[in-house]
Amino acid sequence: MNTQSITQYYRKHWKAIVTATSGLLYGGGWSLGYLTGFDTTGAAILVLATIVGGYDIAKTAYHEVTNRTLGIKTLVTLAAIGAIVIGEYWEAAAVVFLFSLGSYLEGRTMRKTRTALQELLEMTPDTATVRRDGELQEIPAREVEEGEVVVVKPGGKIPVDGDVVDGESAVNQAPVTGESAPVHKADGDEVYAGTVNQEGALEIRTTGAGSDTTLERIIRRVEEAQEAQSPTESLIDRFARYYTPGVIALAIGAYAITQNAILSLTLLVIGCPGALVIGPPVSIVSAIGNAARSGVLMKGGEHLERAGKIDLVAFDKTGTLTKGESTVADVEGFGVADDEVLSLAATAEKKSEHHLADAIVDTARERPTAATDGGATIAQADDTDASLQSIPDPDDFDVVAGKGVIAHTDGHEVVVGNRALLDDRDIDVPSRIADYVREHEKRGETVVHVIRDGDIIGAIALRDELREAAPGVVAALQDAGIETVMLTGDNERTAAAVAEEVGIDDYRAELLPEDKQSTIEELQTDGHVVAMVGDGINDAPSLATADVGIAMGAAGTDTAIETADMALMADDLERIPYAVKLSKATRWNVLENVGLAVLTVTVLLAGVLTSYVTLAAGMLVHEASVLAVILNGMRLLRY
């Protein structure tokens, strides 16, 4: 080992070296004093131990004083000097050694909490292979420009955010979304920096590089969240501001009255409410870090503490409990052919962006093609699949929000909509049709009526499959003592059928978008702490109203990441029980830490004032309590 590497080694480990040296000297001095009587040599070694261990503490204390902050290092320095002045060398060395050891261990454990996120950042590769001027070049990943095509080999890490333009592969997105199963990616699919390309080569058109990637944004948000003070933390900080000066005043007062120097110095040692100040941030940082690694973004301690009190979770139905992809389950013509009903409805719905409209139009397109219009098929542009039927445009088209559409085509008025739209237009529903509708709604399907020139000519039943995970998620929340409610715009019967299928406690049906928000308010007025789970865009108002808004599938949508109190990066419902339980565990963890800290301070104060606890013992208990709360908080990293 040359001089330079020794210096480097020392710089890296100086806290450990200083602590160990002071510990050895302390042990040596104490043994010497114990074995040979308390002679001058023993005392000298103990003073040396104090100086070795205390030099850095005193240096920082000096800075604390010149910067006019009152920290524990100032208090420890005063106590150690005081102890030497009154001849309590053993106490002085012990206090300094225990403090060094304690803060060394604290620094080490805190580092683990602080580096939990760094591992995520290291997921992004430093270089990227880009196609420039027709050839492949390896350049720093940060210098890839938007629109450039990056080539990623099988097994390679994806260096940028972008869209796949060539190739097909399975990509492990765990660093971003927390999903352990790889996701299939092909032309047009979005991929994220830091994820791993597992199978085939991919060419990716860059949409973001460097600090402008989803992963970087997540990490920034997580850090901001960890740094934001929770209500408990601010309360404790305010308390700490008075506690330390208070204890010093007490130390001076106690000395003035009792002339007991040891008592006053011991008060100084315990004058920093260490465990109390350190506990809550460690719990919260660990919890937020753990959540981030599982693909759950939490907005900060305040939200986490509130989430710990959730007793009711409201789910939006479509796209949250269900897959959000409706398919046509059945078409029924009343006096006309089924096919005619479907094609008429498709024409009317062609310009609509509603998810039910998409399902109807797609189904109409995929019908077996009548073999008569071959000429037209050949003439079509090559991006249209020849096996698909073409749907004519309507002459005009109007949306009635929450009810349906009204269109004109071929000289007919075509209305496609729900019961409310029929009522609006005073259209009578024959009992045969009403029976059909009732029967399908009881199966959890949504039925739309098709009306031509004022007569009902048919009905279409649509089905939105439940997510496989939904019943399990609802059951897991119920097991945790949390009520579950489903909110939906569907009619009563469909809602009841879906609610039963998923096993949810309660449901609210026939809600317009703004009704969802007022439903949340009602639940809150009933005394519930409400979490709302939705998609983060359409449900944004109700997510904002809820005590805790949980957005699903947030990886691609920055607004959801910015606004939701919790954002599930993956479209994975199963993270919800985890997130809710983690919040509850965090709330308990914070309470445990505060409880332990208050207990420690009370016992120490009582012990000191009754002279049962002196310098070294006080320091030992103080440091032990700090380590205990850090270790307790860190349990949340592995929750």
Partner 1 sequence: MSDTTQFRVMDFDCPTCASTVERALSNVDGVQHVEVHYATGRIEIEYDDGVAEPDTFAQTIENQGYTPQPA
Nearest-approach distance from CB 102 to partner 1, in angstroms: 8
Q: What are the structure tokens assigned to 212, written together?
A: 């402008």
HSE, CB side, 13 Å, CA atoms: give it for residue 67.
10
Residue 262 CA to residue 270 CA, distance in Å, equals 13
CB 180 within 8 A of CB 174: yes
Q: With respect to partner 1, which residue has the nearer C-beta, 76 or 487?
A: 76
Q: In the beta sheet, which residues pair with residue 208?
A: 161
> Which C-beta is closer to partner 1: that of 29 or that of 274?
274
Provide the minimum distance between the beta carbon of 227 and partner 1 in the complex, in angstroms, as a whole number: 4
CA proximity to 191, closest of 220, 211, 167: 167
- Residue closer to partner 1, measured from CB, 101 or 141: 101
Alpha-carbon distance values, 622 to 16, 613, 619 (Å): 20, 11, 5
Positions that interact with partner 1 (CB under 8 A): 11, 15, 56, 59-60, 63-64, 67-73, 103-104, 106-107, 110-111, 113-115, 117, 223, 226-227, 272, 274, 277-278, 281-282, 284-285
Largest CA distance in the chain: 115
Burial 246-284 (b: 16+ CB within 10 A, else e): ebbebbeebbeeeeebbbbbbbbbbbbbbbbbbbbbbbb
Query: How far is Cα 159 from Cα 208, in angstroms, rounded to an integer?
Result: 10
Q: Write down the least CB distance from residue 138 to partner 1, Å.
A: 24
- 286 vs 488 by CB, closer to partner 1: 286
Tell me the closest approach of the beta carbon of residue 249 to partner 1, in angstroms: 18
d(CA 350, CA 332): 20
Q: For partner 1, which is the closer residue by CB, 254 or 285?
A: 285
The smaller minimum CB distance to partner 1, of residues 74 and 318, is found at 74
Q: Least CB distance from residue 207 to partner 1, whole Å?
A: 25
Q: Toward partner 1, which CB reaches closer, 108 or 438? A: 108
Minimum gap (Å) between residue 561 Cβ and partner 1:
19
Active-site choice (316, 464, 490, 572): 316
3-class DSSP state of 116:
coil
Which one-letter amino acid corresponds to residue 619? M
Cα–Cα dist 199/184, whole Å? 10
Least distance (Å) between residue 269 CB and partner 1? 14
Q: How far, in Å, CA of 447 to CA of 310, rounded? A: 35
Q: How far apart are CA 128 and CA 160, in angstroms?
A: 8
Residue 457 tokens, joined: 């000519």
Q: Give 6's contacts (C-beta < 8 A, 6+ positions apart).
A: none
Active site (annotated) includes residue 316: yes
Residues classed as catalytic: 316
